């Protein structure tokens, strides 16, 4: 049987927890002569608005029971939704005294919002697991050859416009599109429940099937390159970074690369409780520092590599106020994005009015980070998805002095700083630090010796007296030899090479202090 182009809406079932726009929508349906059927709370809301509505209990002959857990799971409801427009199905409905329903409007109990805080009692969360709602949605979506299903109040307008254009009917294309949205919604709902139930699994347990659904938040200006389309999707219950200035109007919209760099910069400044700033370009730190306050930290971070920092993304782990903005806004600088935990309301306008590039600077608030335990890293490969736990542990690394000379107190401080930065530089990563500021970095290189060469070249004269961190072991002594001749005085690295003895001997020969951590921080 060929699918009809359009089916007229004569009966609608409404059962919603989110009642935004409900009454105007239902009123528009009633004005077209659509018979309204609704569950208890939804029915009461419509009756209070003066609309004529039939409560589900009247159709089923059974009121809600088990504290409302059972109300729509009944043949009189599901038969009205699942019946196809065939002579046999029409006859069966007539024999049972059931009138078909052509429109199902359901949004689910707010389970995701309930568990988003992370500290909700289990019994309360369980009660927000909707049973009847997903069953109604899936029944309507399955029968989309006849039935339209709406799961989001934002779609009310499109449905009413369709019915106006088709004299009360809904076309096949829209029904199919709504069915797709419906199945995606129930899939996301089930995935959120599964993720919540799985929170007590052992940390090293991987589920047999990984169910993860993200919600579209915004389209982006472009992807890694202008010919690539891109969008941002959010984890269930997550709040997006809030753009508070620079986007829209004359300002540029965010791109994929902007968000990648912002994420990298924010992850770096999260390493410290003290005021910290980071400058990232092409996902690589070209500046990082801690200081007595945010302006000092930023000034020192920018000084790490001012040429590379130009047009970069800046993260601060302190609020962005006018004092910091005045430091950011120096005429010789150009920034794409600044992200901070909060932004003083006057800052975006102040920058836009006083800085020639200020209207193109996107200013964002990071807000609360998700719980560390829930953070995983996913990467798409040709055959599927690679999943790993995020490299989250912060704080001082394990510490074993392997040279004759131990680091001085000042060197130890620099080594700890450099080690945290190295974790955020693409491997092979080598970082030079002085005064708790990044002065040179080499990363994303196939040879660790090349990484040392780039780091010391970037540092220049500042390499003399600096301390070095390497995200992986030195496979040969050549990297240590180069660091020593460049003026580096102390090194921190994981150790574990077959030539560790040669590497340590080279360090001793040059009077360097070296620490092994036994921990590697590759970032591919």
pLDDT in tens, 59-94: 777 767 676 667 667 888 888 899 888 888 888 888
At residue 439, the pLDDT reads: 96
Confidence grade of residue 194 (pLDDT, cut at 50, 70, 90): confident
Q: How far are the Cα atoms of 222, 260, 416, 431, 470 from residue 409, in angstroms, in the given order?
A: 47, 36, 11, 19, 20
In a domain, 209, yes or no: no
In a domain, 211, yes or no: no
Beta bridge partners of 442: 430
At residue 396, the pLDDT reads: 82
Pairing of strands 6-8, 169-171: antiparallel
The structure tokens listed for 162 are 């369709």
Give the pLDDT confidence of 463-489 residue by residue, as tens digits: 999 999 999 999 999 999 999 999 999
Give the up-direction half-sphere exposure of residue 399: CA atoms within 13 A in the CB hemisphere.
11
Residue in the block written with tokens 């994981």: 494
Give the pLDDT confidence of 272-299 residue by residue, as tens digits: 999 999 999 999 999 999 999 999 999 9
Judge if 306 and 416 occupy the same domain: no
At residue 177, the pLDDT reads: 95
The whole-chain average pLDDT of the chain stands at 88
**Do 422 and 473 meet the contact criterion of CB atoms below 8 Å apart?**
no
Q: Which of 348, 365, 382 is the last residue of a domain?
A: 365
- Residue 332: how many CB atoms within 10 A of its CB? 7
Q: Which of 482, 491, 486, 472 is nearest to 405 (CA)?
A: 491
Rg (CA), the chain: 30
Judge if 425 and 317 occupy the same domain: no
Judge if 69 and 167 occupy the same domain: yes
Q: How far are the Cα atoms of 13, 15, 119, 368, 438 from residue 26, in angstroms, in the given order?
A: 10, 11, 36, 38, 61
In a domain, 436, yes or no: yes
**Do 232 and 308 meet the contact criterion of CB atoms below 8 Å apart?**
no
The structure tokens listed for 494 are 């994981």
Pairing of strands 54-55, 35-38: parallel
Cα separation, 295 vs 265, whole angstroms: 16
Cα separation, 489 vs 245, whole angstroms: 44
Give the pLDDT confidence of 365-383 residue by residue, as tens digits: 987 665 544 577 888 888 9
Confidence grade of residue 1 (pLDDT, cut at 50, 70, 90): very low
Helices (H), 270-339: 294-302, 306-309, 322-328
At residue 373, the pLDDT reads: 43
Confidence grade of residue 495 (pLDDT, cut at 50, 70, 90): very high
Could you list the residue range(s) of the whole structural domain that residue 65 is in?
Answer: 6-199
Judge if 425 and 353 occupy the same domain: no
Cα separation, 289 vs 287, whole angstroms: 7
Judge if 361 and 405 occupy the same domain: no
The structure tokens listed for 396 are 């001082």
Q: Three-state SS string across 1-46, please? A: CCCCCEEECCEEEEEECCCCCHHHHHHHHHHCCCEEEECHHHHHHH
Q: What is the mean pLDDT of residues 384-407?
A: 87
Pairing of strands 215-219, 376-381: unpaired
Confidence grade of residue 46 (pLDDT, cut at 50, 70, 90): very high
Judge if 175 and 46 occupy the same domain: yes
Backbone phi, psi, residue 499, to 5°: -105, 25
Give the pLDDT confidence of 421-443 residue by residue, as tens digits: 999 999 999 999 999 999 999 99
In a domain, 385, yes or no: no
Judge if 339 and 437 occupy the same domain: no
At residue 70, the pLDDT reads: 72
**Do 73 and 132 meet the contact criterion of CB atoms below 8 Å apart?**
yes
At residue 405, the pLDDT reads: 95
Beta bridge partners of 364: 243, 339
Judge if 300 and 435 occupy the same domain: no
Judge if 313 and 413 occupy the same domain: no
At residue 137, the pLDDT reads: 94
Cα separation, 328 vs 302, whole angstroms: 9
Judge if 345 and 408 occupy the same domain: no
Q: Which residue has the higher pLDDT, 404 or 3?
A: 404
At residue 3, the pLDDT reads: 45
Which of 127-131, 259-263, 332-336, 397-401 has the weakest average pLDDT?
A: 127-131
In a domain, 386, yes or no: no
Look up the CATH number of the domain holding residue 466: 3.40.140.20
In a domain, 500, yes or no: yes
Q: Which residue has the higher pLDDT, 264 or 92?
A: 264
Non-local (6+) Cβ contacts of 428 within 8 A are 442, 443, 444, 445, 446, 447, 448, 450, 451, 470, 471, 472
Q: How far are the Cα atoms of 220, 276, 433 from residue 283, in angstroms, in the given order?
A: 18, 18, 19
Confidence grade of residue 2 (pLDDT, cut at 50, 70, 90): very low
Helix (H) or strand (E) holding 171: strand 169-171
Q: Which of 312, 342, 365 is the last residue of a domain?
A: 365
Judge if 142 and 254 occupy the same domain: no
At residue 217, the pLDDT reads: 87
Residue in the block written with tokens 């993200």: 214
* 511: pLDDT strictly greater than 80: yes
Q: Which of 311, 338, 365 is the last residue of a domain?
A: 365
In a domain, 222, yes or no: no
Residue in the block written with tokens 């690589």: 284
**Do 146 and 170 meet the contact criterion of CB atoms below 8 Å apart?**
no
In a domain, 521, yes or no: no
Non-local (6+) Cβ contacts of 322 within 8 A are 344, 346, 347, 350
- Look at the chain and report how many structural domains it folds into: 3
pTM of the model as a whole: 0.81
Judge if 356 and 254 occupy the same domain: yes
Cα separation, 398 vs 314, whole angstroms: 29
Non-local (6+) Cβ contacts of 406 within 8 A are 513
Q: Which residue has the higher pLDDT, 352 or 501?
A: 501
* 354: pLDDT strictly greater than 60: yes
Active site residues: 142, 282
Beta bridge partners of 3: none
Look up the CATH number of the domain holding residue 169: 3.40.50.1380
């Amino acid at each position: 049987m060929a699918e009809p182009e359009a089916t007229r809406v004569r009966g609608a079932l409404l059962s919603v927890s989110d009642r935004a726009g409900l009454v105007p929508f239902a009123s528009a349906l009633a004005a077209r002569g659509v018979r309204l059927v609704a569950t208890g709370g939804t029915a009461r809301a419509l009756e209070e608005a003066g609309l004529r509505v039939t409560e589900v209990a009247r159709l089923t002959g059974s009121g809600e029971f088990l504290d409302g857990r059972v109300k729509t799971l009944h043949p009189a409801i599901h038969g009205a939704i699942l019946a196809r427009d065939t002579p046999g199905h029409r006859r069966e409905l007539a024999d049972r005294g059931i009138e078909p329903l052509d429109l199902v409007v359901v949004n689910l109990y707010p389970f995701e919002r309930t568990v988003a805080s992370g500290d909700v009692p289990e019994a309360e969360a369980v009660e927000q697991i909707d049973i009847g709602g997903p069953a109604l949605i899936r029944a309507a979506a399955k029968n989309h050859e006849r039935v339209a299903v709406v799961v989001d109040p934002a779609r009310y307008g499109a449905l009413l416009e369709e019915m106006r254009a088709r004299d009360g009917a809904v076309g096949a294309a829209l029904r199919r599109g709504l069915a797709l949205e419906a199945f995606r919604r129930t899939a996301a709902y089930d995935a959120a429940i599964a993720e919540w139930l799985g929170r007590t699994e052992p940390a090293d347990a991987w589920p047999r099937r990984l169910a993860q659904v993200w919600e579209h938040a915004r389209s982006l200006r472009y992807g890694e390159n202008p010919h690539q389309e891109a969008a941002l999707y959010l984890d269930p219950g997550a709040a997006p970074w809030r753009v508070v200035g620079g986007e829209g109007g004359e300002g540029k919209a965010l791109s994929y690369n902007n968000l990648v760099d912002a994420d990298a910069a924010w992850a770096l400044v999260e390493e410290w409780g003290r005021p910290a700033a980071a400058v990232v370009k092409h996902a690589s730190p070209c500046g990082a520092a801690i200081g007595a306050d945010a302006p000092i930290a930023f000034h020192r971070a920018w000084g790490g590599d001012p040429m590379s920092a130009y047009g970069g993304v800046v993260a601060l782990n302190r609020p962005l106020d006018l004092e910091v903005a005045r430091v950011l806004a120096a005429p010789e600088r150009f920034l794409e994005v600044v992200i901070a935990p909060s932004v003083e309301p006057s800052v975006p306008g102040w920058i836009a009015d006083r800085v020639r590039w200020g209207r193109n600077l996107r200013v964002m608030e990071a807000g609360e980070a998700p719980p560390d335990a829930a953070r995983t890293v996913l990467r798409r490969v040709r055959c599927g998805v690679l999943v790993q736990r995020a490299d989250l542990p912060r704080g001082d690394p394990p510490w074993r002095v392997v040279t004759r000379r131990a680091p001085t107190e000042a060197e130890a401080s620099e080594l700890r700083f450099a080690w945290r930065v190295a974790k955020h530089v693409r491997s092979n990563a080598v970082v030079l630090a002085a005064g708790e500021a990044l002065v040179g970095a080499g990363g994303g290189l196939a040879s660790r010796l090349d990484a040392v060469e780039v780091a010391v070249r970037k540092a220049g004269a500042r390499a003399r007296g600096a301390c070095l961190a390497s995200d992986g072991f030195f496979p040969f002594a050549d990297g240590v030899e180069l660091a020593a001749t460049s003026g580096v005085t102390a090194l921190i690295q994981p150790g574990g090479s077959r030539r560790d003895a040669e590497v340590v001997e080279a360090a001793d020969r040059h009077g360097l202090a070296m620490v092994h951590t036994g921990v590697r921080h590759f970032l591919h």
